């Protein structure tokens, strides 16, 4: 290994590989390696200007290594220190990383000359395995780390599984409907690591080793930080990837939505009904197929004859309007051939030029191309924004491929295998970049997907089309907590789940109330869902336009019976009463990256019990929330950390440091206020 100190950056070269380790923010390092002649340049998620504290220290020296039969060899060795984090590189190129003086991460190496595990040195397993892609300039990369016994791992975005601790999990690094890859992890050992690579791949947090795989890439790139607790780690992370902007106060109440309001008059009648009942809704959502065909990005005039007048009336009631935009462009769209000719759509490597087949023969846009972003914005500005539409629901933002055959798709920025995970972020920037140019504008758009750094682009991210079951409800809490630890604080769900067979089923209605109670204590309170049975006839017999597709049953607060309406109205009032507190949580998210819903250990990192809990959470620092995840469950156990806690439903006070059993009638779920 040949080492070099390049202006306080540690550079090492061996066997055609160049390794570069440099200070990158407080107590943090960026680690890159490539087999190419030079690094490719993109900083990907590391988009913010960085500063470091004291000048980082690079040392290059000779170290004695004990080999077999007592033989000692003198080999080159190097290290770089930035505050509390230190990286050492040995003569074989194996990296070891320390928090203060404690080893927190070491690359896995089992080959001849290895100095870590001599008993398995003949396995010929290397720490960074590069395999050239035949016929191309890229590589597949397999990076391995030693597994730490007893370590817990959190973050990484959203995966539909009942596990908050990801140790032992295999996670696909790819975007799908309800799966969101945000590859930043937080360890119980006091460090956080960003896999700064938008390539499709996989990570395995195994008991024997951790393995990161990029199926096509030009360089290894990860960022690692070590600090006092998860809150400090998340601040370091958002300092280098971006902070969420200021959230508008006028959107902190109720968002009303369903699949789907089919006409202008339906939207207005719902809004008027809320207004007459004295219930303020902050935003109403106009869902898909209000358009002519996918990719026209405009209202079907048959059913939306005067959207400007509709928006004006909604604004007069203090209601913002958000409209659904999909990235799919049907061949029948007026924009298809102009966009295809200009190279503004995703390309296929073989076979038909089709990427999406729901309700049409579609190709999706390529938002990596700046000309695509300009084209789509100009159409949406003319047909929506100039009419007064306030925000955009950027659905299918993974994108949702007809077939997830990533090697068959190519973007302006390169093969999908190499960059696809960044698609939702680039899609959101079509709108955020232009909307944010307006003085005083605070763009907030709704997306189904995100990537590392998406928090800085005004993205409210929801958990996708999930089933209406208690099991799915439980999974959503794990999703939301890990999304928050991955730096995405504006996260929400469809209240009651998305897919409902029968809105009159009493079991579903109980689920709806329990889900609604949870949503009151989350970032965004949003009614949405596809409510069966599907016995509402279409508005016309055309096979296109705003009238032909089905609609679900009503989904307003009063749609589920008088008792349920009273319950939801009561909790709506609780939400409104917390306005100032919720604003403080959004301000904190902008300041230091703290999510609104937080794992117990985020607020109580010194309490070992809190690292084990995944069925309760903190809403900010003040409220401990214990949702009900089972049908006909009317009591549950709750762990209370040290301190005094008041059960808000009864006013009863409990001392912490114990597990208590409390009642949970359908009228309320257990919420404890720290006093």
Enzyme catalytic residues: 395, 398, 465
Place of tokens 């890159």: 32
Q: Is 662 helix (H, G, I), strand (E, B) or coil?
A: strand
From the list 237, 256, 235, 250, the residue with the least C-alpha distance to 442 is 250
What are the DSSP calls for 505-560, one per residue?
-HHHHHHHHHHHHHHHTSS-EEE--EES---SPPS-S-SSSTTSS------SGGGG
φ and ψ at residue 62, rounded to 5 degrees: -100, 135
Contact indicator for 91, 76 with CB cutoff of 8 Å: yes
Nearest of 434, 439, 483 to residue 460 by alpha carbon: 483
Q: Rounded to whole angstroms, what are the CA distances from 302 to 142, 169, 259, 543, 670?
A: 55, 50, 19, 14, 48
According to DSSP H, which parts of 578-650 are helical?
579-592, 600-603
Q: How far is CA 474 from the centre of its chain?
A: 17
Are 378 and 434 spatial neighbours (Cβ–Cβ below 8 Å)?
Answer: no
Strand partners, 394: 325, 447
Judged by phi (left if over 0) then psi (alpha if -120 to 50, else beta), residue 578 lies in alpha
Residue 48 has a CB neighbour count (10 Å cut-off) of 16
Beta-bridge partners for 217:
139
The residue written with tokens 């690591």 in the block is: 193
- Cα–Cα distance, 139 to 201 (Å, whole number): 12
Q: Is the dihedral of CA 516, 396, 257, 260 positive or negative?
A: negative
């Amino acid at each position: 290994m040949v080492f070099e100190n390049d202006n306080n950056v540690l550079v090492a070269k061996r066997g055609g590989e160049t390794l570069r380790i440099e200070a990158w923010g407080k107590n943090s390092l960026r680690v890159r390696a490539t087999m190419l002649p030079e690094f490719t340049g993109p900083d990907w998620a590391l988009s913010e200007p960085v500063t470091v504290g004291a000048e980082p220290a690079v040392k290059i020296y000779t170290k004695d290594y004990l080999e077999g039969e007592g033989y000692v060899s003198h080999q080159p060795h190097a290290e770089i220190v930035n505050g509390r984090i230190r990286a050492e590189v040995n003569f074989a190129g194996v990296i070891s990383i320390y928090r203060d003086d404690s080893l927190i991460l070491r690359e896995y190496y089992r080959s001849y000359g290895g100095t870590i595990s001599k008993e398995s040195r003949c396995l010929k397993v290397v720490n960074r395995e590069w395999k050239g892609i035949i016929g191309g300039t890229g590589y597949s990369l397999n990076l391995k780390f030693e597994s730490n016994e007893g370590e817990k791992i959190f973050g990484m975005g959203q995966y539909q599984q009942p596990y908050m601790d990801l140790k032992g999990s295999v996670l696909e690094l790819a975007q799908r409907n309800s799966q969101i890859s945000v590859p930043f992890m937080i360890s119980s050992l006091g460090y956080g690591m960003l896999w700064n690579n938008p390539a499709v791949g996989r990570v395995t947090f195994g008991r024997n080793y951790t393995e990161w795989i990029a199926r096509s890439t030009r360089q290894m790139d990860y960022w690692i930080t070590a600090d006092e607790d998860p809150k400090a780690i998340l601040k370091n992370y958002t300092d280098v990837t971006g902070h969420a902007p200021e959230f508008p106060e006028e959107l902190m109440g109720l968002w009303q939505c369903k699949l789907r309001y089919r006409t202008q008059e339906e939207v207005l009648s719902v809004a008027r009904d809320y207004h007459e009942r004295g219930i303020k809704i902050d935003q109403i959502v106009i869902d898909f197929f209000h358009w002519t065909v996918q990719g026209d990005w405009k209202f079907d005039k048959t059913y939306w004859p005067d959207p400007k007048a509709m928006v004006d009336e909604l604004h007069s009631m203090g209601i913002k309007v958000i409209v659904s935009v999909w990235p799919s462009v049907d061949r029948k769209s007026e924009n298809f051939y102009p966009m295809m000719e200009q190279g503004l759509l995703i390309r296929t490597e073989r076979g038909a030029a089709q990427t999406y087949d729901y309700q049409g023969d579609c190709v999706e846009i390529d938002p990596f191309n700046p000309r695509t972003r300009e084209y789509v914005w100009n159409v949406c500005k003319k047909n929506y924004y100039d009419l007064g539409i306030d925000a955009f629901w950027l659905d299918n933002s993974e994108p949702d491929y007809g077939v997830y055959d990533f090697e068959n798709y190519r973007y302006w920025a390169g093969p999908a295998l190499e960059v696809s995970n960044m698609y939702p972020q680039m899609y959101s920037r079509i709108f955020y970049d232009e909307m944010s140019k307006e003085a005083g504008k605070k763009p907030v758009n709704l997306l189904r997907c995100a990537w590392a750094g998406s928090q800085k682009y005004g993205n409210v991210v929801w958990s996708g089309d999930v089933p209406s079951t208690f099991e799915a409800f439980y999974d959503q809490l794990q999703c939301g907590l890990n999304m928050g630890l991955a730096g995405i604080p504006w996260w929400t769900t469809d209240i009651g789940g998305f897919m409902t067979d029968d809105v009159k089923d009493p079991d579903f209605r109980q689920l709806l109330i329990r889900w609604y109670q949870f949503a009151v204590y989350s970032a965004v309170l949003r009614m949405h869902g596809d409510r069966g049975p599907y016995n509402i006839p279409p508005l016309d017999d055309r096979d296109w336009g705003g009238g032909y597709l089905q609609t679900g049953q009503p989904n307003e607060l009063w749609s589920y019976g008088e008792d349920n309406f009273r319950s939801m109205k009561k909790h709506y009032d609780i939400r409104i009463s917390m306005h100032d507190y919720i604003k403080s949580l959004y301000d904190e998210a902008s300041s230091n990256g703290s999510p609104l819903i937080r794992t117990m250990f985020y607020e109580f990192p010194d309490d070992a019990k809190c690292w084990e809990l995944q069925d309760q959470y903190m809403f900010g620092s003040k409220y401990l929330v214990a949702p009900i995840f089972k049908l006909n469950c009317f009591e549950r156990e709750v762990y209370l950390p040290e301190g005094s806690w008041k059960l808000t439903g009864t006013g009863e006070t409990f001392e912490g440091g114990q597990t208590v059993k409390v009642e949970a009638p359908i009228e309320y779920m257990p919420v404890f206020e720290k006093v």
